[in-house]
């Protein structure tokens, strides 16, 4: 059985274009095979706390010395990490906000990118501990940024998942959506064609 982990992060929830693309893709994946399990997070509806000193200290405190509060923080992080370990396919609904990832998604990453859990430090540098996973990123943008220096989002996603050992990452972009009219319609139509192709 394949496990799909879907993470949407649009501040418009299910009405966000990135969420709609990710939802459509997952629906088509599941229709292709009944032998799949879906794990799902809407980070706008149920956001994670942003990382602060207390939460970070919970991660670095030895297990036997953690307070009850610290144990709860680590248990929440561990559950998210176990979902990543279980997932065969990771689907991200990813809007572009201020040239980067949504802060809710960054908070998610700060709970799963943990030394000793999803990567480790070695004499030769960091080594990822998660492998054999495919990531699809459904990136909705108001402007047109793909392939430019202003698209810091795509590089960040490649680097942070690469740190954890996940290298197989594919982006499906819908750009120029704020321009409206034919520009937005053609961009969404092209993205939807790719969704059908990738889910086939």
Q: What is the DSSP letter of 97?
A: B
Say if residue 4 is exposed, middle or buried (CB neighbours under 10 Å; 0-12, 13-18, 19+). buried
Tokens 């939460």 found at:
55
Question: Taking the mean position of all CA atoms in its chain, how far away is CA 170?
Answer: 12
Residue 76 token pair: 């929440």
CB atoms within 10 A of CB 168: 13
33 annotated as ligand-binding = no
Pairing of strands 125-128, 119-122: antiparallel
Binding-site residue numbers for FMN are 10
Binding-site residue numbers are 10
């Amino acid at each position: 059985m394949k496990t799909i982990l879907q993470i949407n992060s649009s501040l418009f929830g299910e009405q966000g274009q990135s969420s709609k693309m990710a939802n459509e893709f997952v629906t088509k994946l599941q229709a292709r095979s009944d032998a799949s399990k879906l794990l799902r997070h809407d980070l706008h509806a149920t956001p994670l706390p942003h990382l602060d000193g207390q939460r970070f200290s919970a991660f670095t405190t030895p297990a036997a010395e953690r307070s009850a509060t610290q144990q709860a923080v680590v248990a929440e992080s561990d559950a998210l990490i176990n979902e990543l370990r279980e997932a065969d396919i990771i689907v991200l609904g990813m809007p572009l906000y201020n040239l980067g990832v949504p802060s809710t998604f960054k908070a998610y990453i700060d709970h799963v990118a943990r030394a000793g859990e999803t990567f480790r430090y070695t004499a030769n540098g960091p080594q990822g501990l998660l492998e054999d996973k495919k990531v699809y990123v459904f990136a909705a943008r108001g402007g047109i940024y793909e392939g430019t220096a202003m698209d810091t989002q795509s590089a960040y996603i490649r680097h942070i998942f690469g740190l954890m050992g996940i290298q197989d990452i594919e982006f499906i972009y819908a750009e120029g959506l704020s321009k409206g009219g034919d520009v937005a319609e053609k961009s969404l139509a092209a993205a939807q064609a790719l969704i059908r192709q990738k889910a086939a």
